Every structure is written in structure tokens, then in C-alpha cells.
A = this chain, B = another copy of it.
């Protein structure tokens, strides 16, 4: 079965994961909750590659979790900001954070 088929699954967990349940997407959203909104910020913060980020941002905008707002028209530049729908993923990020704090202690520090 293809992962994308999950968007119409009977289970709401599966439907949610069809959007945010891949590598990187929740990390982008974490950065959004930390106040980031621009392509280069996400790149620097997460360490993901540029074309993967571009792909994920497109999907997030298509699914109504992020909104693409122009902040410059001369060279076209955009902010990616959480919609209300996106904001409501905060509890999910918080529970994942709490679990990580408790069950995933840091062994060595990393810069990224």
C-alpha cells in the first residue's frame, strides 16, 4: 500500500500521519512554532536539504497547514506561517517534546 493512500483511511491517526508522518515535516513545524518562517531559516535550523524542504513546504501549503505570504515583491520572497489548522498541531508537538525530554536523554551534543 502506498503511504499517500492513508489520507482517506478510517483512522484519524493515519489520516494525520498521511500529512505530517514523514521524516522532516514535523521538524519544519517545530521551527514554525519557534518563530521561523523563511526558507533559509528552516535550512539552517533543521539540516535538511533544499529540495526536500521545498517539497515539504509545498505539501504543507497545499494541505492548509502553512500559508505562503509574500514579504517582498521585487524579488519574490515568501514567509511560511502557520494557519489556524497548523497552530492546532501545537499539542502534538508538545507531547512529542515531553516524551523526548523524559525518554531520550542527550548522549553527545551536536551543533545542528
A residues with CB within 8 A of B? 1, 3, 5-24, 26-27, 30, 46-48, 64, 85, 88-89, 91-104, 106-110, 112
| Residues of chain B contacted by A30 (CB below 8 angstroms) | 11, 13-14
Taking the closest CB of chain B, its distance from the CB of A92, in whole angstroms, is 4
- The answer to whether B19 touches A104, judged by C-beta atoms less than 8 angstroms apart, is yes
Q: When the two chains form their complex, are residues A13 and B100 in contact, meaning their CB atoms are under 8 A apart?
A: yes
Closest to A9 in B: B110
Interface centre among A27, A92, A109 (most CB of B within 10 A): A92
- CB neighbours of A22 from chain B (8 A): 22-23
Q: Which residue of B lies closest to A103 (CB)?
A: B85
Q: Could you name 11 residue pairs across A and B whose Cβ atoms are closer than 8 Å?
A: A1-B48, A3-B24, A5-B112, A6-B27, A8-B108, A9-B106, A12-B101, A12-B104, A20-B96, A21-B23, A22-B23
